[in-house]
Amino acid sequence: MILVVLPAHLRTLAHVQGDVQLEVSPPVTVCSVLDALEARFPMLRGTIRDHVTLQRRPFLRFFACEQDLSLEPADAPLPEAIASGREPFFIIGSIAGG
């Protein structure tokens, strides 16, 4: 199971409390994690990545294992610690706007 930590506003939108656990078939990538997340919570489509281009929204970042994975290719395998569920995959709203 993959553990995903959503920003508070997206937890509210998805009607979930706490972290989200997802079944993701290998290979586990940013793209496959987001596919699984949006399939389970369709209301999140368009809020993390663009509907059409699938580009990450500019003020969101993807962190995991103390690394910023935001600029990695979306189809690159994520670290094994995420794939195995030992470490969470963080979707972070950047600090901006005051």
Structure tokens at 24: 């993701």
The answer to the question of residue 97 lying near another protein (CB under 8 A) is yes
Identified binder of another protein from the candidate list 3, 5, 13, 16, rule CB under 8 A: 13
- Taking the complex as a whole, the smallest distance from the CB of residue 54 to another protein amounts, in Å, to 13
In three-state secondary structure terms, 8 is helix
DSSP-derived secondary structure for 18-64: S-EEE--PSS-BHHHHHHHHHHH-GGGTTTSB-TTT-PBPTTEEEEE
The answer to the question of residue 25 lying near another protein (CB under 8 A) is no
Cβ proximity to another protein: between 11 and 77 the closer is 11
Residues contributing to the site for another protein (CB under 8 A): 7, 9-10, 12-13, 38-48, 51-52, 57, 59-60, 93-94, 96-97
